[in-house]
Amino acid sequence: MAAMLQCCSAAGLIWHREAPAPECRGRRRVAAVRCSSGAAFPGEKVADAAAAATARYAARRSAVRRAEGKRLVEPLRLGNMAADWMSYKERFVVRCYEVGFKKTATVGTIANLLQEVACNHVLHLGSTGELAVLPNMRKLRLIWVVSRMHIEMYKYPAWSDMVEIETWYQGEGKIGFKRDWIVKDSATDEVIGRATSKWVLMNQDTRKLQQLNDEAREVYLVYGPRTDRLAFPEKNNDSLKKIPKLADPAQYSRLGILPRRADLDMNQHINNVTYIGWFHESMPREIIDTHELQTITIDYKRECQYEDAVDSLTSIEFAEAGNRNGTATTKPRDQEFQQFLHLLKLSATNLEITRARTKWRKLVH
């Protein structure tokens, strides 16, 4: 016990009162122990207080080690805030395992990089590290949930190419936030992709949407542009178009898809990028082989849990007025562009999970 107290005292975690006054001699001795934060525990036994102080010291050392680790990692991360702190840029090298059979990055890779740069952006703003959760959100048990995602890729990077992604966010409505991205080829500075998304806050315990009060909201918005800055400034661009619900029965389907444990994110629900792969499962092979995905828009309707089986449905969407989902009048592979509607639903209840629209361009060999 004496050694423990000496250790804590040397670390500056506790202090003891002077020797007791003569009139106090003979009584049970106690010590007033104070932690480094200044909180006192009058009347607490020395052993209990010393153990508490030691635990606090260990916590402080752990925090110091995490900070040191972060300091070592930062130089390796090829990202930084803009001079005005209104956006964040980061560069990424495309790895061999991020490339598909067409020898270019997959749309899943692009979506993962968008998510990565968004999380790193919030880390720079003081996130707790819990999937871009800021301290004021953590106190309220709030997490981010994506409600809509739109990605357009004009050119996919190949293995070992370096891309630079810029991202920023703005408020939208009472409970919503908007995040945009610009994807560039680092070698040429050419814009090869753009994306936009809408996010809402959900209570982690009740799983219900929740809004921040004005004060807490302002803490987050202080690092977002005050005037609209849009990745898609064009009027009537594809990111604004509504997605109709796919008519049943669909032309193509893949039933009973089972989530993997690897599909769960830090918030214990299916990662939003996983759904993109599930849409591909019901795509006709002739399109996958001869086209590449140019545009994808996803509306997220409800959560999917690890135990849920999922049905993936797909049908051609015709551009001509009056046409509906149904049998194609020409073979899909004969057209330069093909557009599809998608639906993911729970196998057991037929409840809708997500709906999507994809546009595919014919590969040029």
Question: Candidates 3.10.129.10, 3.40.718.10, 3.30.565.10, 3.30.70.240; correct CATH number of 243-365?
Answer: 3.10.129.10
> Taking residues 269-290, what's their average pLDDT?
94
Nearest CA-CA partner of 14 in 43, 49, 58: 49
- By CB atoms closer than 10 A (0-12, 13-18, 19+), residue 346 is middle
For residues 218 and 159, the answer to whether their CB atoms sit within 8 Å is no
- 267 among known catalytic residues: yes
Q: So where are the chain's domains? A: 2-72, 77-240, 243-365
What are the angstrom distances between the C-alpha of 107 and each of 151, 156, 240, 295? 9, 8, 20, 9
Q: Which tens digit of pLDDT belongs to each residue from 1-57?
A: 555 555 555 555 444 444 445 554 444 444 444 444 444 445 555 567 667 767 776
DSSP state of 23: G
Residue at token pair 């996919």: 156
Reported as a single tens digit per residue, the pLDDT across 160-212 is 999 999 999 998 877 788 999 999 999 999 999 999 999 988 887 887 887 77
Q: Which region among 117-121, 123-127, 312-316 has the lowest average model confidence (pLDDT)?
A: 123-127
Domain 77-240 sits in CATH at 3.10.129.10
Q: State how far the Cα of 263 lies from the Cα of 273, in Å rounded to an integer.
A: 9
329: confidence class by pLDDT, cuts 50, 70, 90:
very low
Active-site residue, from 121, 304, 325, 342: 304
Active-site residue 124, yes or no?
Answer: no
- Dist. CA 120–CA 127, nearest whole Å: 9
Of the residues 269, 280, 291, 342, only one is catalytic, namely 269
What is the C-alpha separation between 7 and 14, in angstroms, rounded?
Answer: 9
How much helix, strand and coil, in percent to the nearest 5, is found in the chain?
30, 30, 40
Residue given tokens 């800055």 in the structure block: 229
**Nearest in space to 257 (alpha carbons), one of 345, 152, 183:** 345
Strands (E), 102-190: 142-153, 162-172, 176-185
Contact by Cβ (8 Å): 342, 235: no
Compare 224 and 329 and report the one with higher pLDDT.
224
Strands (E) across the chain are located at 79-81, 88-93, 142-153, 162-172, 176-185, 191-203, 252-257, 291-300, 310-316, 337-346, 352-362
Alpha-carbon Rg for the chain in angstroms:
27
**Six token digits for residue 282:** 């019901």
- What are 66's two structure tokens? 């995490």
Q: 84-119, pLDDT tens digit by residue?
A: 989 999 999 999 999 999 999 999 999 999 999 998
The Cα 134–Cα 197 span in angstroms is 19
Q: Is 243-365 in the same CATH topology as 77-240? A: yes
Catalytic residue list contains 269: yes
The rounded distance, in Å, linking the Cα atoms of 82 and 85 is 5
Question: Is the bond leading into 42 cis (omega within 30 degrees of zero)?
Answer: no
Among residues 112, 120, 136, 267, the one annotated as catalytic is: 267
CA distance 342 to 355: 6
* DSSP string for 185-214: ETTT--EEEEEEEEEEEEETTT--B----H
Model pLDDT, residue 210: 78
Higher-confidence position of 324 and 298: 298
Amino acid at 220: Y
> Count of residues for the chain?
365
Q: What angle do CA 328, 334, 340 make, to 5 degrees?
A: 50
Amino acid occupying residue 238: D
Tokens of 86: 């209104």
